Amino acid sequence: MLDVSDLKFKVFITLMASTGCRVGAIPSLKIRNLKYYPNYGLYQVTFYENTKSEYYSFTTPECANYIREYLEEYRSKICCEKLNDNSPLIRDDFVLDDLLHIQNPKHLSIFTFNYYLRLILIKTGISKVIPLTESQTGSKKNRKVVSQNHGFRKFTIMANKRINPEVREILLGRKICLSSSYYRPSESELLEEYSRVVPELTINEENRLSRQVQELKEKDDYQNYVIDKKLKEKDEQIKILTSKVDEYVEVQREEPIMSKEIAQRFSDLEEKFNDLMGIKNKERKYNCEFELESNSKTKDEKHDLMLQTTRDRIRKQGEIEQHLQKYITQ
């Protein structure tokens, strides 16, 4: 459906699928009903503002990207529309050279939404045109297995089965009866629960994969940050201990009498430093191969080798540190 839709109806379709709202809640939406969460890359949307039925839900990052592109790139930059908090989120159609109409937007009607959605369903083959027979009257409707509009809401309900049932009902704008008097989750709690099912609510496979790649990259960046921090701490400790060893060596030069035990300690220490340098060289080699590798499978293998070598280096530095500490205290 997204492939055959223009930008406006990509916003409409992903908004219906990610929030599970009713189709009647969309025409009255204004830009002020959106609240952006940059850490999650999504919007909070308030439906039925200033009414007894008011509630809010969240969009997926996929839907948020379409909304930003529709508002910022198309309506603001291309069409030169002056957007403000009271501007309709989804506006009526217009001609690009009709400046008066562009600067005076109107909300798209629910009839127009239904009309264009039916055209999209027919174009994609999801819905078929079934001609009426003589026995059918004009008031009779041909019911489908999946409702044209409510099917999006059912999709959202099925995807949200993994989260807290009461949170799901709140995000769908339903009453939770007696529980509403005792269970009132905060915005952050609702957002955290919703973020768990974002992959299931994402329609486009490309968007789903790009989000997974981004999550893996953030996780890998954090691991590298922790490893680098630990390595810097170990390097500083080794520098301090090495300077103490150098001072001790100077003392030994002034007093050239050295026991066999001390000579053996220096020999062991030299061997450990040599091992450490060998591991460091190997780590640099794997790092260069990882950066140059283009095949994703081979790159993952190089990445694993690089991490393993880094762990070996940390372990070896720890051994040298313990050896030097023992050496100095004695």
pLDDT tens digits for 191-204? 888 888 888 888 77
User: What is residue 220's predicted lDDT score, i.e. its pLDDT?
Assistant: 65
Across the range 309-315, mean pLDDT stands at 78
Predicted TM-score (pTM) of this structure: 0.57
Helix intervals (H) in the chain: 7-19, 61-68, 99-102, 110-124, 150-159, 165-171, 179-182, 187-195, 198-201, 205-254, 260-292, 296-329
* Domain over 2-128+145-203 is classified CATH 1.20.1740.10: no
Domain ranges for the chain: 2-128+145-203, 209-329
pLDDT above 90 covers a percentage of the chain that reads: 9
User: Structure tokens of 307?
Assistant: 């991490």
Exposure class string for 165-197: b at 16+ Cβ within 10 A, else e: eebbbbbbbeebeeeeeeeeeeeeebbebbbeb
Cβ atoms 143, 32 nearer than 8 A: no
pLDDT at 124: 75
Using pLDDT thresholds of 50, 70 and 90, give the confidence band for residue 36: very high
Q: For 99-148, what is each residue's pLDDT tens digit?
A: 888 888 888 888 888 888 888 877 777 666 666 565 655 555 555 544 55
User: Which position has the higher pLDDT, 146 or 28?
Assistant: 28
287: which residues sit within 8 A by CB, 6+ positions away?
A: 306
